[in-house]
Amino acid sequence: MHNQSPETPTQANPEWHCLRTQTKREHIAAALLDQLERVEVFCPRISQVKKTRTGKKRFTEALFPGYIFARFCFLTHSRQVVHSQGITKLVQLGDRRVIPERIIAELQASLPEGIIESPDLSIEPGAEIEFITGSLKGLNGTVLAQLPAKNRIQVLLEFLGREITVDVSPDAVLLAGKD
């Protein structure tokens, strides 16, 4: 009688793979893959402040734009995974396509919620800022201190030949020279 090898397709161990996604659709592809049975998905994200026409806003985007990670058995699930909506291909280098378990584990450990929040550098003391809203719009200054109790920052600015300090909302400023 013929014995099956211990590594048959139904018993194969799942491994981590990197998947290329459609641009700006990482979260959609991850959500769809997450619905598949025996497929684990990791889509690390970053939350950062960006300037918009209406001021600055916090956006959450993929930490690795255009890529997500999925853990599955290649023999039994690769076809279903690669043909899922939002996935363009399985990333591989030659015949190497598996991401070592320890790399994903370290990345997951450093991002407990799967997201890293980038600080708003325009409110750090010493930052050169530009006012983007209000009556001081267009003027530049230097952040002196954060005033957390009031959710304000103190800014030193030159106005009419004098240096003055003003307390403003962090939403009213952006790093000077940043768009």
Structural domain of residue 152, as residue ranges? 121-175
In this predicted model, what pLDDT tens digit does every residue of 121-137 receive, in sequence order?
A: 777 888 888 888 887 88
In this predicted model, what pLDDT tens digit does every residue of 69-123 receive, in sequence order?
A: 999 999 999 999 999 999 999 999 888 889 999 999 999 999 888 888 887 777 7
Do 106 and 20 fall within a single domain? yes
Query: Quick check: pTM over 0.85?
Result: no
CA 105 to CA 16: how far, in whole Å?
10
* 95 domain-assigned: yes
Do 19 and 75 fall within a single domain? yes
Q: Do 179 and 170 contact (CB within 8 A), yes or no?
A: no
Among 55, 74, 82, 85, CA closest to 169: 55
Last residue of a domain, which of 102, 117, 132?
A: 117
16, 73, 88, 158 from 3: Cα distances, Å: 28, 21, 38, 83
Looking only at the bridges linking them, the beta strands covering 15-21 and 67-72 are: antiparallel
What's the mean pLDDT in 32-59?
Answer: 88
Do 27 and 102 fall within a single domain? yes
* 37 domain-assigned: yes
Q: How many CB atoms lie within 10 A of CB 73?
A: 17
Location of structure tokens 């734009």: 65
In this predicted model, what pLDDT tens digit does every residue of 140-162 receive, in sequence order?
A: 888 888 887 777 888 888 888 88
